[in-house]
Structure 1
């Protein structure tokens, strides 16, 4: 499974990578602390090498998570059913959950830090949806 991690917090990237590595579900893991670089990577991967999962932080300088999602809207038809986006956030604002439901590419919202149970749930959900 190819996973793209987009988070500007170095410690959060480190912890998330360790959990994903420990659970062994990422055949390929690409971590980006700059969302603009991650967006370019995803856009260039279409259609031949679309990531299975994107773990996306919301609150980042420059291009935030919402803007990242808006930038992917032109590719929505190519990504639906192929790429599953999970928002990773430390925000407890219920408005974020409501807003995330407005994006068909978003499969869920997870409060940081990511844990092994959530990683397994993501894996199970993605595998089930791709069958």
Structure 2
């Protein structure tokens, strides 16, 4: 089985606890990391790119509304380093926002594969892994 490293970027600690349980339940991810804001995640992403790119995430579940650096600002930072990332990272916006503007904005980023409303399910996670 191929490795599937998943990162969750979300400031909601209760959601992080729930999503971690769901991720473990699927059994399809070899590693899981969570970050409480986009700045923390982008810094680790840059360090991982420098040190060992094989540990880059395959999937990122990204919240939009977070302190310090929100999901959109994170996406702007990804654009700056995308050329250095060999394998495409599948990024999904996972949000409780039902704003049409957010869904439309997510479509303007080529790295965002989809928009998943919270709460996310085990089936959502399995679908993410099955999409190439």
Q: Please, what TM-score do these two structures have when normalized by structure 2?
A: 0.89
Match of 2:14 in 1: 11
- C-alpha distance after superposition, 1:46-90 (max 9, x if no partner): 262321011100000121100010011012234475211011100
Taking only aligned residues, the RMSD between alpha carbons, in angstroms, comes to 1.4
For the 8 Å contact 2:37–2:70, the answer to whether it is kept is: no
Q: Are 2:109 and 1:103 aligned?
A: yes
Farther off after superposition, 36-45 or 21-30: 36-45
**Equivalent residue, structure 1, for 2:71:** 65
Q: Which runs of 4+ in 1 moved over 6 A?
A: none
Deviations 1:2-34 (A, max 9, x none): 111100000010111110110112111001113
Extract unaligned runs of 5+ from structure 1. Answer: none
TM-score by length of 1: 0.89
Q: Which residue of 2 aligns with 1:42?
A: 45
CA distance in structure 1 between the aligned counterparts of 2:126 and 2:15, rounded to whole angstroms = 18
Q: Which runs of no fewer than 5 residues in structure 2 stay unpaired?
A: none
Say how many residue pairs are matched.
126
